[in-house]
Chains A and B, each alone.
Chain A
Amino acid sequence: MKSPTKISLIICFFVFSSCYESLDFNQLKGHVSKPVFSSALTYYTVVPAQFFNAAGIQQNSISDITQFKGFENSYIKDNLVKIDFNAEIKNGFDREVTILVDFLNKNDAVVYSFTPIIVEGGNLNFTFLEEIEIALNKNILNTTKVRISTEIENTGTQMNPADTREFVFKSSVTLFIESSI
């Protein structure tokens, strides 16, 4: 056999007899991406003076509210399986403080509430974790606002509005996503 014929045959051999390993593209159907995103949420520091109104009378409860649009994102809303709410609290007050966290929908109706977070006076290293399974609490996905109320224990003795001791609240949310392709 002449050389050019040989080379032609070799090239043809590689072109027409090229092999490929069987591939299973359906595997991707079983693939689940499980990213975990953490984000800072709310934080605040309050001193006793903030529990007194303009008339100088102690209010045992104060609250504030923020809009929350995290669940407007369809990727999060459709694939969220679990939420961890973390809080780190320093209670420098001389009395117990209770934190109430409510998730509200667009009509301001409560769709989810944490069990009250009770922090004893003087506890400077309190941590809190609430795990929310979405499958059991689907209403929480309708959240558009978060309200946090801070209540001080009524000990019968007023706090000193000039007292500089602080109550420090920090929080974060961790979103567990499971999305398939």
Chain B
Amino acid sequence: MKKILFFVLIFSAVKFSAQNKQVLYDFAELPQTLLLNPGAETNYKFHFGLPLMSGLSIDLGSSGAVLTDVFAYDNINVDDKISTLLNNLTTTDFVKFNSQIEVLNGGFRTDTKTYISFGFYNEIDAISYYPKDFFILFTEGNNPHLNKSFSASQLLYKLDVLGVIHAGVSKKINDKLTAGGRFKIYSSALNIESSNNTGTFTTVLGTDNIYKHYFSNININARSSGLFNEDEVIEDSDTYVNNIFFGGNLGIGFDFGATYHINQQLEFSGSVLDLGFINHKKNIKNTTAKGNFIFEGVEFQYDPNNPINYWGQIDSNFRKQLPTAENQESYISWRPVKLNASLKYSFGEIRSKICYDNTYKDFYTDAIGVQLYSIFRLLSPQLALTGFYQKSITHKIHTKVTYTIDDFSYANIGAGLSAQFGKVNLYGMLDNILEYRNLSSANSISLQVGFNVIFN
């Protein structure tokens, strides 16, 4: 009972999150698992993915708000629904979207211990936290919120559209340990982001006048690359597509990973992904605002001999004390680093499968385990904790069921299937299956599908 209470407490206190491929991770020795852990074990001579079809993943979610909150047919006044939604949002709630399309994916074994994999994929990754104070200010105004400090720090967003060319190696060090790494070159087609903003806007009852308005410690920045060309928004979609292929805003990154067999049945694996950055230096447009400003109204002097341009003075002071500026300075954008860790216990029937070197490898038909996933986002790391059960029906057909706790749900059930028909491998995974009962009220959905050709 104490244990149960402990876990309830833990799960109540800790909020997990995801942009996670927990079903795909360490599943069925799929080539795509090498993108989640370059130290994953493989058991084939070579593979290639069907171009544009070897890996498609989509992941979208919104914590704190779903479509039905506002758009349901419920005879509730839409103004009331929006008001309720805004009141319920917290500053840590966010909306996110991630998709990856593998354009090319292949790999081959150089010797019995080394597997080289490479490829190219496009990625769109977007996250924006709900700037609750901005919403309240623009929907309710400052009048009902005297003394409230509307914070600019809630302005947090990032959108990346990029192409990634990569090559990695997975090497079996010994019977227990396989380690690997991957080198990536990023080519950003579009980046817009704003983070580390500070400052508040506050209205209080004044002394010399009825109200006094404070803009305090304002330091706001908004960066963009690939969106503007000499102040004109780039509207030609071909430009974005071309920039995915070495468009000028380039970066590098690394993945590391390992799989370690603690004993015959117990296995630990872990990886660090996207440890890298992009140097944005083409088609840059950055905007900044920095300073302090206090406004208490226009103080009339009633001096006919020295007429004063009051508004001009205020405008001039505002621009001096809280200047906004634009620049084209290059900047570095860090990729969101992801961490994976897994502990897997295999059991059940022992079967043999033929390996790339015509030897046979024993494997258990069943496995259970836990996985921890973390991604470093603008505000803080987001976590997801997954328990899983894996079942190999045959040595060609594998299944996996997951139960994940994340920001969106404490009951996120996922399932995956990998099946090989001759040389052709088909896999598909779904996350948050229970939410498919009503997608309109889903906080999060994700899926991955793909086709590979695998030669043992």
Residue pair A172, B203 in contact (C-beta under 8 Å)? no
* Main secondary structure on B side of the interface with A: mixed
Residue pair B79, A32 in contact (C-beta under 8 Å)? yes
Residue pair B72, A24 in contact (C-beta under 8 Å)? yes
Residue pair B393, A42 in contact (C-beta under 8 Å)? no
B296, B428, B436 — most chain A CB neighbours (10 Å)? B436
Residue pair B209, A40 in contact (C-beta under 8 Å)? yes
Counting contact residues on chain B (CB < 8 A from A), the size range is 35 or more
Residue pair B438, A19 in contact (C-beta under 8 Å)? yes
A8 to chain B, nearest CB (A): 6
User: Given the complex, which residues of B lie within 8 Å of A172, measured CB to CB?
Assistant: 209-211, 297
B266-312 with Cβ < 8 A to chain A: 295-304, 307, 309-312
User: Given the complex, which residues of B lie within 8 Å of A66, measured CB to CB?
Assistant: 298, 300, 310-311
User: Given the complex, which residues of B lie within 8 Å of A27, measured CB to CB?
Assistant: 70-71, 78
Task: Tell me the complex Cα distance, A2–B311, Å.
Answer: 80
A14, A40, A68, A69 — most chain B CB neighbours (10 Å)? A40
Are A14 and B209 CB-contacts (below 8 A) given A35-B141, A44-B301, A66-B298? no
CB contacts between A and B, total, < 8 Å: 158
**In this assembly, does B143 line the interface, its C-beta being within 8 Å of a C-beta of chain A?**
yes
Residue pair A46, B302 in contact (C-beta under 8 Å)? yes
**In this assembly, does B206 line the interface, its C-beta being within 8 Å of a C-beta of chain A?**
yes
Residue pair B301, A38 in contact (C-beta under 8 Å)? no
Task: Tell me the complex Cα distance, A14–B433, Å.
Answer: 7
Residue pair B143, A174 in contact (C-beta under 8 Å)? yes
**In this assembly, does B397 line the interface, its C-beta being within 8 Å of a C-beta of chain A?**
yes
**In this assembly, does A18 line the interface, its C-beta being within 8 Å of a C-beta of chain B?**
yes
Residue pair B210, A40 in contact (C-beta under 8 Å)? yes
**In this assembly, does B140 line the interface, its C-beta being within 8 Å of a C-beta of chain A?**
yes
CB contact between A150 and one of B67, B70, B302 (< 8 Å): that residue: B302
Residue pair A38, B203 in contact (C-beta under 8 Å)? yes
A177 to chain B, nearest CB (A): 7
Residue pair B309, A67 in contact (C-beta under 8 Å)? yes
Are A43 and B299 CB-contacts (below 8 A) given A23-B68, A35-B138, A38-B142? yes
Counting from the closest, the 6 A-B pairs by CB-CB distance are A40-B297, A35-B141, A67-B311, A18-B436, A23-B71, A36-B143
6 contacting pairs across A/B (C-beta < 8 A): A3-B391, A11-B415, A19-B437, A28-B71, A30-B78, A171-B209
